[in-house]
Structure 1
Amino acid sequence: MKRLILLYLLILGICPATIAQTIVSGIVDHAQKQGPLKGAIVKTNTGQATTTDADGKYSLTVPATATYIVISHIGFVPDTIAIEQGQQRVTYFTQLQPQQHILKEVEVQGYETNRPLLQTAGAISIIDSDVIQRSDESSLVRAVNTVPGVKMDERAPASYRLSIRGSTLRSPYGIRNVKLYFNGIPLTEANGTTALNLLDAASIGSIEILKGPTASVYGAGTGGTVLLEPKRSKLGAEAGAGISIGSYGLRKYTANVSTGSAKSNVLVQYAHQQYDGYRQQSALDRKVLLVSPEFYVSDKQTITSHIIYSDLYYELPGGITKEQYDAVPRQARGGEFGSVKQNASMNQESINIGLKQDYSFTDNWSNSTAIYTLHRFRYHPFNTDYERNANQEFGLRSSFAYTTTIGSIAAKYTFGGEFQRGFEAARTYDNNSGLVGALRTDDEVTAKAGFVFAQAELELPADFILTTALSLNDTQYKITRLAQSPTINYTKDFEAVLSPRVALLKKLTDKVSAHASISAGFSPPTEEEILTSDGALNEDLQAEKGTNYELGVRGYMLQNKLSFDVVGFNFRLNETIVSRQDASSVAVFRNVGATSQKGIETALNYTIVDAPEDGLSLFKVWGSYTYSHFRFKKYSIFKASEQKEIDLSGNELTGVAPHTATAGIDAATNLGLYFTATINYVDALPLNDENTVYADSYLVVGAKLGYRRTIADKLELNIFAGVDNLTNQKYSLGNDLNAFGGRYYQPAPDRNYFGGLALNYKIK
């Protein structure tokens, strides 16, 4: 009966359509040049077609069944126009945008979906090579700090800290509670720490930042996950070299050889960076060799690998008080355990080797398996001791993917696991003015971390995509204290924890999507939080556990010129780990109950001009803003001076600025000139849990002007110069939170300049 009714209605619609016709006419213009566009194709959904004349005009007689026309032209974005029904004649004026504005579907690796960003449920930010190159590429800090909800500090050159939607309370130094991968291979070690400083910024091609708990696919963690991809060579063979110089003794030399073909892509890059330092005891000397080959063995098999050798030395000026900061910000920590007197510094030599294979068994089944090994030697005279460590580690990650259809629903199932084992021989000594003194501790530490995971993606009707995932995480530390008599064996095993994630995405249009998710996170303490730098064992420390609720919308508007990404989240963290310094500046860690972390993250990018054939070939403005309402819950400390417990519940979370914003412009001409400018604002933030001391807000401006040109199709020349901290702001980048004696401040450089030259020669 239903089929008969549908047939009847269809006949009713067809009969008058055989009689009625509409004349569709109009003019098609070039959207940028504001002139007629000759030769544009005008075609209806019923098959009638014509082209525009020299004046951009067209006229077409169409049947009543025609509901829309498509106007297209080589090199331009097609436009679809709905035909007004019931009219004998309609006229339209159309402007076609040049092809450069077509939305480039950015495919992301996040959550192992390998989908376009508009089809990925989750707060993901992408940093491409253009963003990294906005500065002198001596550091990743400037690029990472353009991302909303993310903060990267540099307490001293190459002494990085990274936080995603949170404070750096757990990270008085180093990177913790954030999982990093390089080329799909774990960079974060089994002990929970990441030596990001072994990489050179110029060797990184792109960065994906996944915010909030991502434990369902990437293992334990409540902070987030960062996916780093190495640079890839272009087609053909090239060789290049570059030099950069700058204020306070900055020198950087790079050399690279690359080759790209249908069968392989190989990059070999060497970078040597030196810096005398803005402050006392803040010099840097880093050598990095990256070998990154990728082989396309067949349509089914790709093999990728990397070798990273790093020889790193950097000095640690230490925190200073407000009085010292105001008087002489360039000074290092002084006193009995002063940084200069004790030669506080880091000597680190390491090699990281990784190998990964992607293989498709069938059209439905595929696998990605990666293995790696790490060897590192570290000599570290600190203000109060001298540390010597040797690390050996290996790890494995493997995941399988199966795609199928369930009825009319497309589905993808992913499952796999990851295992890491690290061994460290850790010894501490007295520091006698930078020389090794008497042995204090002699420990052997074995760290094991692993998880298994499963994930299902379902493409539901009405353009919904549902993702459900679950992982089981386990972490264990075994510490043998050889210097004790008798020998002490200590084991800390954190119980296996299930971490689920559920996410739903709705495609509102072809250019806009909304997403929501609920995820749980589990973050065990790192080895350095269990075994502190003074050799003490922190046996009572427990893992953090939290739940994150998230809602966001992203998309493109105005012929894809405007992109936007807005996310709101509510993260509830239990057993929050914080640190405080004792009298000897050793960080002591403890669980403090809970925190409530709510925020809004926004990112906008508007391309005003994108016309390679014009004098001004590119002009775009961009910006990001983060609002953070982070508070302690159920937190109290014992104040010795008053001999009583002080309730800190409701206080602002230490180290978190309520408001941060970044904005900038990118411009280029077809003659080769280019210009970038970046403004970064950070609101005042508390430096201690009591909220009695705050760091001042600051506004920092940086700019870069360059000239890039290809000579005789073989040699590319790039000359550039720039300035950082143009406004000459006094600010601290990487405050020491809850520091003993009020030594909170790590002053950043004042106004400083840089310049450089890069040559790239196409061999074939």
Structure 2
Amino acid sequence: MIARLLLYPLLLLLIFLLPRVLWAQSLYSGYVLDAKSELPLEGVTVTASTGAQAISNENGYFSLAAEGADKLVFSYVGYRTTTMEFPAPDEELRVLLQPDAERLQEVVITGYESNRPLLQTAGALSLIEREAIERFDEGSIVRAVNTVPGVRMEERAPASYRLSIRGSTLRSPYGIRNVKVYFDGIPFTEANGTTALNLLDAANIGRIEILKGPTASIYGAGTGGTVLLEPRRALPGEKQLQSGTTIGSYGFRRHTAAASIGAENSSLLVQYTRQQYDGYREQSAIDRDVLLISSIFTPSDKRTVSANLLYSNLYYELPGGLTKEQFEQNPRQARGGMFSSVKQNASLDLEGINVGLKQEYRFTGDFRNTTALYGLHKFKDNPFNTDYERNTNQEFGGRTSFVYDADLGSIGAAFTLGGEFQRGFETARTYDNNSGIPGSLRTDDEVVAKSGFVFAQAEFELPASFIATAALSLNDTQYEITRLQQVSSGDYRFIRNFEAVLSPRVALLKQLTNKISVHGSVSSGFSPPTEEEILTSDGTLNEDLEAEKGTNYELGIRGFALADRLSFDVIAFYFRLKETIVSRQDVSSVAVFRNVGSTDQKGLEASVGYTLLDEPEQPISLLKVWSSYTYSHFRFDEYQKDEEDLSGNKLTGVAPHVLTSGLDLNTRFGLYLNFTSNYVDEIPLNDENTVYADSYFILGARVGLKRQLHQRWGLEVFAGIDNLTDEKYSLGNDLNAFGGRYFQPAPDRNYYGGINLSYRL
């Protein structure tokens, strides 16, 4: 009885105190995300100041009960430990973890087959990460590529790309030439030397490496440079569906859908994009569908296999060039006259499928092989102002390389040996263009293009933190053109073989500290004409065109300073090119190519970035400024045009000064802001240097909000503006154009906005 009387008061006291105890046990919950990709991080340790701990799940979600906690500490391998002061217990937290500085410095470069960190790579190169592409509307990759020094990308019309690395626009009146492009390590540039980069959508690309100058030691013939594209892939632990829509000025519509599944040993991404644009100018609409299937599997410790399928159906219109007077009067008009772009339905319909398969096999820890095979089929229907082309192209090829790592006493070494081969077969027909309809047959050709090279490279890790590289390649290109019909001259067969040429490269790098390195190199380049330069669009054969040959010298320094807040990369180079190929237009606007002697190209390329603030737990979590600058002192060294001596003139199509700058601001709440500015100096538009495009300064901005909604949904809303300064400028000039039609106007001030939605499975 007495015990029962004592128990009742104790129970009453416990009932009275229990709500107070529960109230003191604060509950902290939220999501932990990668600050760059905004993807959830699984396995993050969350520690309260009271000692209580929790681990984030596969969705990045954590829940932690702690009494009187005044701080939470988030720690994860490879990321900077982050502390959140006085967290709100009843508010869903959003924590962004930044990769630590050492991890950023260990970004691996795949170029030169060395797979070394950037600070240990001797060569002029630039990286364009995924976030740089997402600074813009992703309607094209032009603005993202133009953020790096030494590179200029243009659009003569929407999706009509032209890419120049250190002045290689000189021989590219349209398309991409003298620059080799690879997609996932597989040749994307065809055997005939051309690259249909517009078959790719910006959303297909995960990262871009741009190697500047002759890189023939590893990537074969070429004096312009090499572009390595990495496809988008599903990240480990990523299982989600994504959908997005963007709309903008002048009828811009863009829709994307993707499904991705990523595990430790495999990943699969299926992505579809559709883009439509009515056009700023008359006769400048675009309609493009792209399907990408990107996968990678690791079936064993020794073997990794990746496979990619790219299907693209592209249609875009060609407004044509304008004279200076037409450009000033109405930049939105298309080319007029007897062969007007509207009347002739000047346009290009391109459909293609590209399939690639790559395997890396590791025989031992020191010996490995990477082999890639690909095949493509492409059809082009191209009514032009003065003719009508219809081409079908089938091609196959492959690339293989063996790498052996060895220790030569105290010297570490890596030896690489490999080769590449491509064969393309094209049927090419030209017709009269009767108001956009094929007329009488002019020429009927079959073209077989063969291109191949073998290469060898040796790298040595010498004492005192020196790394020396010596490389050599042997290149060969052949065109076999069979003319089945030509009204004026009948049929014939023409074979042009550009004999094998040795192209060496030597480089030396000295790592001054673990954060700063200097490097220098000497390389030789060999660049045969493309098929389009030998067989012009009007069916004329350019039988006497010779390959370009050049030698490049460069010296550079790159690294980090000021507690890793400052990053810098500076390159000075001197390039001497012989048998320089230039293009001119004849009366029918057909580009005609010829060798003109030599050029002398001196330049400076610099990029710098400074992080003012990098505190994920603060309201403003990131504030960074960056800039890139290009100085080009490019001259014709020897150039005799008929009776006129053009030696000493500025190189056509190259701006002496280009400056691009940006500001990035992120907040802990998911709000972000990007500013990008671009200044381009005046550009000579003809070899005589009598006509120039005016200098221009454009400014763009994008603002958005990224949020993780509960455990599965992710949301991004954004809006942007391009050409905020409302400049009247030409983004794709027609060099040496007949009749003074040099200018291809870019859009004036324009706007866009959109929404992206993701769902984690």
- TM-score band by shorter chain is 0.7 to 0.9
Pick aligned residue for 1:595 from 596, 599, 605: 599
Tell me the amino acid that sits aligned with residue 230 of structure 1.
P
2:400 matched residue in structure 1: 398
Tell me the amino acid that sits aligned with residue 608 of structure 1.
L
- SS state of the match for residue 560, structure 2? strand
The whole-number CA distance in structure 2 between the counterparts of 1:511 and 1:582 is: 54
Pick aligned residue for 2:459 from 457, 460, 463: 457
The whole-number CA distance in structure 2 between the counterparts of 1:359 and 1:619 is: 42
2:216 matched residue in structure 1: 215
- SS state of the match for residue 482, structure 1? strand
Asked if 1:529 corresponds to 2:533, the answer is yes
Q: How does 1:75-114 map to 2 (within 5 A)?
A: 75=80, 100-104=100-104, 105-114=106-115
% identical equivalent positions: 68
Are the counterparts in 2 of residues 101 and 559 from structure 1 also a CA contact under 8 Å? no
The whole-number CA distance in structure 2 between the counterparts of 1:326 and 1:673 is: 40
1:555 matched residue in structure 2: 559
TM-score, structure 1 normalization: 0.86
Higher alpha-carbon deviation: 718-727 or 161-170:
161-170
Tell me the amino acid that sits aligned with residue 294 of structure 1.
I
Are the counterparts in 2 of residues 167 and 653 from structure 1 also a CA contact under 8 Å? no
Q: How does 1:98-247 map to 2 (within 5 A)?
A: 100-104=100-104, 105-234=106-235, 235-247=237-249
Asked if 1:564 corresponds to 2:562, the answer is no
- SS state of the match for residue 168, structure 1? helix
2:361 matched residue in structure 1: 359
- SS state of the match for residue 373, structure 2? strand
Deviation track 1:563-606 (CA, whole Å, cap 9, x = no partner) reads 00000000000000000000000000000000001000000011
Pick aligned residue for 2:284 from 282, 305, 309: 282
The whole-number CA distance in structure 1 between the counterparts of 2:418 and 2:146 is: 33
Asked if 1:629 corresponds to 2:630, the answer is no
Are the counterparts in 1 of residues 168 and 224 from structure 2 also a CA contact under 8 Å? no
Are the counterparts in 2 of residues 330 and 747 from structure 1 also a CA contact under 8 Å? yes
Deviation at 1:559, TM superposition (A): 1.0
CA RMSD after TM alignment: 1.5
Deviation at 1:101, TM superposition (A): 3.9
1:749 matched residue in structure 2: 747
Pick aligned residue for 1:678 from 668, 673, 676: 676
Runs (4+) of structure 1 exceeding 2 A deviation are 73-77, 97-103, 484-487
The number of aligned residues is: 668
The whole-number CA distance in structure 1 between the counterparts of 2:599 and 2:263 is: 52
Deviation at 1:262, TM superposition (A): 1.2
The whole-number CA distance in structure 1 between the counterparts of 2:496 and 2:450 is: 11
The whole-number CA distance in structure 1 between the counterparts of 2:145 and 2:316 is: 21
Deviation track 1:684-708 (CA, whole Å, cap 9, x = no partner) reads 0100000000000000100000000
Tell me the amino acid that sits aligned with residue 631 of structure 2.
Y
- SS state of the match for residue 604, structure 2? strand
Deviation at 1:390, TM superposition (A): 0.3
The whole-number CA distance in structure 1 between the counterparts of 2:387 and 2:287 is: 22
Deviation at 1:288, TM superposition (A): 0.1
Pick aligned residue for 1:388 from 362, 387, 390: 390
Deviation track 1:436-463 (CA, whole Å, cap 9, x = no partner) reads 1000000000000000000000000000
1:580 matched residue in structure 2: 584
Are the counterparts in 2 of residues 76 and 99 from structure 1 also a CA contact under 8 Å? no
Deviation at 1:99, TM superposition (A): 7.1
The whole-number CA distance in structure 2 between the counterparts of 1:239 and 1:428 is: 45
- SS state of the match for residue 175, structure 1? coil
2:485 matched residue in structure 1: 483
2:343 matched residue in structure 1: 341
2:734 matched residue in structure 1: 736
The whole-number CA distance in structure 2 between the counterparts of 1:463 and 1:429 is: 62
Tell me the amino acid that sits aligned with residue 144 of structure 2.
A
Are the counterparts in 2 of residues 100 and 610 from structure 1 also a CA contact under 8 Å? no
Q: How does 1:297-316 map to 2 (within 5 A)?
A: 297-316=299-318
Q: How does 1:657-668 map to 2 (within 5 A)?
A: 657-668=655-666
Q: Which runs of 5+ in 2 are unaligned?
A: 1-48, 51-77, 83-96
Deviation at 1:487, TM superposition (A): 2.8
- SS state of the match for residue 169, structure 2? coil
Pick aligned residue for 1:321 from 316, 320, 323: 323
Deviation at 1:231, TM superposition (A): 1.0
Deviation at 1:76, TM superposition (A): 5.9
Deviation track 1:546-570 (CA, whole Å, cap 9, x = no partner) reads 0000000000001111100000000
1:617 matched residue in structure 2: 621
Deviation at 1:102, TM superposition (A): 3.9
1:416 matched residue in structure 2: 418
The whole-number CA distance in structure 1 between the counterparts of 2:693 and 2:301 is: 55
- SS state of the match for residue 169, structure 1? helix
The whole-number CA distance in structure 2 between the counterparts of 1:349 and 1:110 is: 30
Tell me the amino acid that sits aligned with residue 371 of structure 1.
L
- SS state of the match for residue 493, structure 1? strand
Check 1:491–1:622 CA distance in 2 against 1; reply closer, same or farther (3 A cut).
Answer: same
The whole-number CA distance in structure 2 between the counterparts of 1:324 and 1:695 is: 14
1:252 matched residue in structure 2: 254
Q: Which runs of 5+ in 1 are unaligned?
A: 1-37, 40-72, 78-96, 639-644
Deviation track 1:618-652 (CA, whole Å, cap 9, x = no partner) reads 110000000000000110212xxxxxx01000000
1:466 matched residue in structure 2: 468
1:65 matched residue in structure 2: none
Tell me the amino acid that sits aligned with residue 564 of structure 1.
F
Check 1:246–1:741 CA distance in 2 against 1; reply closer, same or farther (3 A cut).
Answer: same
Are the counterparts in 1 of residues 214 and 223 from structure 2 also a CA contact under 8 Å? yes
The whole-number CA distance in structure 1 between the counterparts of 2:557 and 2:638 is: 33
The whole-number CA distance in structure 1 between the counterparts of 2:331 and 2:201 is: 27
The whole-number CA distance in structure 2 between the counterparts of 1:548 and 1:458 is: 22
1:86 matched residue in structure 2: none
Check 1:74–1:230 CA distance in 2 against 1; reply closer, same or farther (3 A cut).
Answer: closer
Deviation at 1:532, TM superposition (A): 0.2
TM-score, structure 2 normalization: 0.87
The whole-number CA distance in structure 2 between the counterparts of 1:300 and 1:620 is: 41
Check 1:560–1:402 CA distance in 2 against 1; reply closer, same or farther (3 A cut).
Answer: same
2:444 matched residue in structure 1: 442
The whole-number CA distance in structure 2 between the counterparts of 1:103 and 1:239 is: 29
The whole-number CA distance in structure 1 between the counterparts of 2:757 and 2:582 is: 47
The whole-number CA distance in structure 2 between the counterparts of 1:624 and 1:635 is: 32
The whole-number CA distance in structure 2 between the counterparts of 1:300 and 1:605 is: 39
Are the counterparts in 1 of residues 173 and 734 from structure 2 also a CA contact under 8 Å? yes
Deviation at 1:236, TM superposition (A): 3.1
- SS state of the match for residue 323, structure 1? helix
Deviation track 1:349-381 (CA, whole Å, cap 9, x = no partner) reads 100000000010011110000000010011000
Tell me the amino acid that sits aligned with residue 497 of structure 1.
V
Check 1:99–1:401 CA distance in 2 against 1; reply closer, same or farther (3 A cut).
Answer: closer
Are the counterparts in 1 of residues 168 and 178 from structure 2 also a CA contact under 8 Å? no
Tell me the amino acid that sits aligned with residue 179 of structure 1.
K
1:604 matched residue in structure 2: 608
The whole-number CA distance in structure 2 between the counterparts of 1:424 and 1:301 is: 35
Tell me the amino acid that sits aligned with residue 213 of structure 2.
G
Are the counterparts in 1 of residues 98 and 616 from structure 2 also a CA contact under 8 Å? no
The whole-number CA distance in structure 1 between the counterparts of 2:654 and 2:172 is: 13
The whole-number CA distance in structure 1 between the counterparts of 2:100 and 2:545 is: 54
The whole-number CA distance in structure 2 between the counterparts of 1:98 and 1:431 is: 58
Check 1:74–1:342 CA distance in 2 against 1; reply closer, same or farther (3 A cut).
Answer: closer
Deviation at 1:74, TM superposition (A): 10
- SS state of the match for residue 623, structure 1? strand
The whole-number CA distance in structure 2 between the counterparts of 1:619 and 1:102 is: 19
The whole-number CA distance in structure 2 between the counterparts of 1:74 and 1:349 is: 44
- SS state of the match for residue 156, structure 1? coil
